Homo-oligomer: A and B are copies of this chain.
Amino acid sequence: MDSATQILEIAERRMRQVGYNAVSYRDIAAEMGVKSASLHYHFPKKEDLGVALVRRYANNFRAHLAASTNGEVDPQTAIAAFVDICRHALTEQHLVCLCAVLGAEAPGLPHPVTIEVKNFFNDNIAWLAARYEALGFKGAIDHARTTLALLEGAMIISVVNDDITIFNAAVKSIQEKLT
């Protein structure tokens, strides 16, 4: 794993725990065993790191989605795969969605970072909407919107409570509509 990737890996995990401003170049460098000046070679400004972080996260998310739904997968299973990505992060890593954290502090982030977060939300609403549409839902776009909002909110509350009960309730609600 090259340095740039390692930086992104560490920064993502930390930001998903404590937010953008609470993560410093020093912290990341210390965990890597290098000096903070080295990070500036790869990401000159923190804004550059933030943008790269969200882009990579969005791409990885899309890749996981594609891997879980390759071949001819029915829309119902595809939506379940979407939910499972969130569940996996929550149960295996105790992490919420990167964009839930950054979205919560969006007005305080460098504008280019906020734009990436916004894109993540809209891209995934569109992805979900296409599946709801394929299932013949009336108001597919609104079902997509509530599904994403529900997952993002439930992840946050679940981590605060250190209890996935609320996430499970959210999943149940999504699944009930699918049947």
A residues near B, CB below 8 A? 17-22, 96, 100-101, 103-108, 114, 117-118, 121-122, 125, 141-142, 145-146, 148-154, 156-157, 159-161, 165-166, 169-170, 172-173
CB-based contact A148/B153 at 8 Å:
yes
Chain B: CB-nearest residue to A19:
B105
A152 touches B142 (CB 8 A): no
Which residues in B have their C-beta under 8 angstroms from that of A154? 145-146, 149, 153
Nearest-neighbour CB distance to chain B for A52, whole angstroms, equals 19
Q: Tell me whether chain A's interface is mostly helix, strand or loop, or mixed.
A: helix
Q: Which of A141, A150, A151, A154 has the most CB of B within 10 A?
A: A150
Q: Which residues of B contact A104 (CB under 8 A)?
A: 19, 96, 100-101, 103-105, 156
Knowing A21-B19, A105-B18, the reply to whether A157 touches B161 (Cβ < 8 A) is: no
Alpha-carbon distance between A172 and B152 when the two chains are bound, in angstroms: 18
A104-B156, A118-B160, A149-B156 given; name 5 further pairs at CB < 8 Å.
A19-B104, A104-B104, A145-B165, A146-B154, A150-B150
Residues of B near A149 (CB, < 8 A) are 150, 153-154, 156-157, 166, 169-170
State in angstroms the CA–CA spacing of A105 and B150 once bound together.
Answer: 18
CA distance A32 to B74 in the complex (A): 58
* A156 in contact with B160 given A18-B108, A172-B142 (CB within 8 Å): no
State the CA gap A163–B160 with chains docked (Å).
27
Highest count of chain B CB atoms <10 Å: which of A117, A121, A146, A161: A146
Q: How far is the CA of A136 from the CA of B104 in the complex (A)?
A: 34
Residue of B nearest to A162 (CB): B118
Which residues of B are found within 8 Å of A106, using beta-carbon distances?
156, 159-160
